Amino acid sequence: MANKVAQDAFNHLIGDLRATHGDNLASVVLYGSAATGDHVELHSDYNLLIALQRITPEDLRQAQAPVREWQRLGHPLPVYFTFAELNDAADVFPIEFQQMRRARRVLYGRDPFETIHISNENLRHQTEYELRSKLIQLRRLYIPASVSAQKLQDLMSDSLTSFATLFAPVLMLSGAEPPLLKREIVDATARRLSLDGQTFERIFGLREGGDERALDDREAHELFTSYMAQIERVIEAVDRLEAMGEV
């Protein structure tokens, strides 16, 4: 949950938004790691979704002052939707909306995710697309990173959090309820799909500073080889869901 400094910032922003948008402001939702306790100070963002009854250029211009102050504190721009758009866009943003729905805290107004329907078919399609896109990017980045163990370690550490986010819909598609924390999501996915969980654990250990001894070149390349193989197995599992009609 957010600390007192963050809560004061939320309260100040909500006050400004209410003064700016009036009755047009329907809800303000905190989503992501800050809403689940997986937040890392100075590294994680406070992500906000602001839902209005209507959105015109004038409504967005009016938001300039409160949003500028929010950005001055180092936070990203909020995401603006109308209530109607949230329902209409569930078929094209199933992963994002599932992530918001699973890890959210309503700071003001109504909960916009109570009535959103997300189909497994759309969720499976986007999940496979995102996984394959990130695997392609991982292969590309391996080429320059392969010159040193440290660069490989950084690549694995940085990319695992992105894959961990995508493992949550993989669990849902396989009939399991995902945990909230990324490390637990990865562990649950490894057990569900019979992956080599030690590979992910080693990378998390390196990311979090738990491994005191740095990897040498041979160990770094061996760990990356296993890491990429586990990602490929996850993609194969998601692809099989379509072939077996399990969406």
Q: Is 109 helix (H, G, I), strand (E, B) or coil?
A: strand
Measured N-to-C along each axis, helices 197-207 and 217-243 cross at an angle, to the nearest 10 degrees, of: 130
Residue in the structure block whose two tokens are 């890392």: 40
% of the chain beyond a pLDDT of 90 = 78
Sequence ranges of the domains in the chain: 4-109, 120-243
CATH architecture designation of domain 120-243: Up-down Bundle (1.20)
User: What is the model's pLDDT at position 42?
Assistant: 41
Task: Summarize pLDDT for 187-208 with one digit per residue, the tens.
Answer: 999 999 999 999 999 999 998 8
Query: 4-109 with 120-243: one CATH topology?
Result: no
pLDDT at 98 over 70: yes
The one-letter code for the residue type at 166 is: L
In which band, very low, low, confident or very high, does the pLDDT at 34 lie, cut at 50, 70 and 90?
A: confident
Mean pLDDT of 161-187: 94
> What pLDDT is attached to residue 212?
52
pLDDT value, residue 22 = 96
Strands 47-52, 79-82: pairing is parallel
Q: What is the pLDDT of residue 210?
A: 58
Q: Is the pLDDT of residue 40 over 70?
A: no
DSSP 115: S
Query: The domain at 4-109 falls in which architecture?
Result: 2-Layer Sandwich (3.30)
pLDDT on residue 1: 45
Residue 23, judged by CB atoms within 10 A of its CB (0-12, 13-18, 19+), counts as exposed
State the average pLDDT over residues 169-191.
94
Lowest-confidence range among 36-45, 47-56, 94-103, 185-194?
Answer: 36-45
